[in-house]
Amino acid sequence: MKLDTRVFPDMDALSRGALEEVSDNIRDAIAQRGRFVIALSGGHTPAKMYSLWGAPGKYRDETPWDRVHMFWGDERYVPADDPLSNYRMTRETLLSHVPIPAANIHPAPTSLPTPEKAAGAYDAQVRGFFGADEPVYDVTLLGLGPEGHTASLFPGSPALEEKQRWVVAVQVAAKPPNRLTFTLPVFNRSRNTYFLVAGKDKREILAALRSEPDSQPSQYPAGRVRPAHGRVLWFLDQAAAS
């Protein structure tokens, strides 16, 4: 499949490039709809971008924080202060450094009796936020796993076939195994989707994605994210791209 890539020399440049794009999206979304809604990704790669956004400077200062709403496209089913929590990583790199109202932060719940109950609760929360509208995020950030997973949609998972629920609980072959994830009906409605991919261990999976025919559904979850009315950009560092 054809990937629309932007290649940067290193993580710092990649993070700035992605943030620059997000800043444009914030301006447009607020001008058109009065708010900006983002689904964040976890993993290691976006941490640098979150830190840049939260650091003193133009990105932080020019963001109208009271108009910004943050959700997580996937979350590990661990307490919010666990080292593996995507929320915790975002709080430390970004949220604790910016004046975003608490009511605009919408983390996935991870302390209900079961992940399934938590997925149902987050699904209801997302539906409550969008009301009668479809769940159209202005920006969705995603990462890429070495076997083609994205968010917590892993190859072969029944979650990939989900058509009704917007959030499901999954068990995955990674640490930690219990996770919540948005489903393809949500990811495939996003206005802008940015994959942030860095490091040489992502080369092989990028080559595999590129070698797939555009005419067939991808065998990789990341390749199944193809919003009919949205834009997908791949932000790569040189190490991943070469």
Contact predicate 44/74, CB 8 Å: no
Q: Is the CB of 5 or the CB of 28 nearer to ligand 6PG?
A: 5
Shorter beta-carbon distance to ligand 6PG: residue 19 or 151: 151
Q: Is 69 helix (H, G, I), strand (E, B) or coil?
A: strand
Q: Mind spelling out the 3-state secondary structure of 122-165?
A: HHHHHHHHHCCCCCCCCEEEECCCCCCCECCECCCCHHHHCCCC
Helix (H) or strand (E) holding 39: strand 36-40
Q: What are the tokens at 113?
A: 């009796």
Residue closest to ligand 6PG, measured at CB: 143
Retrieve residue 149's tokens: 């997973």
CB of 27 to ligand 6PG, least distance (A): 26
Smaller CB distance to ligand 6PG: residue 145 or 227?
Answer: 145
CB 204 to ligand 6PG: min, Å: 13
Q: Where are the beta strands (DSSP E) in 57-208?
A: 68-72, 74-76, 105-106, 139-142, 167-171, 178-182, 192-197
Q: Which is nearer to ligand 6PG, 177 or 217 (CB)?
A: 177
Residues 6 or more apart whose CB falls under 8 angstroms from that of 1 comprise 209, 210, 212, 213, 214, 218, 223
Which of 69, 76 has the CB closer to ligand 6PG?
76
**Least separation in angstroms between CB 197 and ligand 6PG:** 8
Least separation, in Å, of the C-beta of 128 and ligand 6PG? 23
Q: How far is the CB of 115 from ligand 6PG (least distance, A)?
A: 14
Evaluate the omega torsion of the peptide bond into residue 176 and state whether it is cis, within 30 degrees of 0: yes
Provide the CA 188 distance to its chain's centre, in angstroms. Answer: 12
Residue with Cβ nearer ligand 6PG (30 or 208):
208
Which residues of this chain interact with ligand 6PG, rule CB under 6 A?
Answer: 41-45, 74, 76, 86, 143-145, 149-152
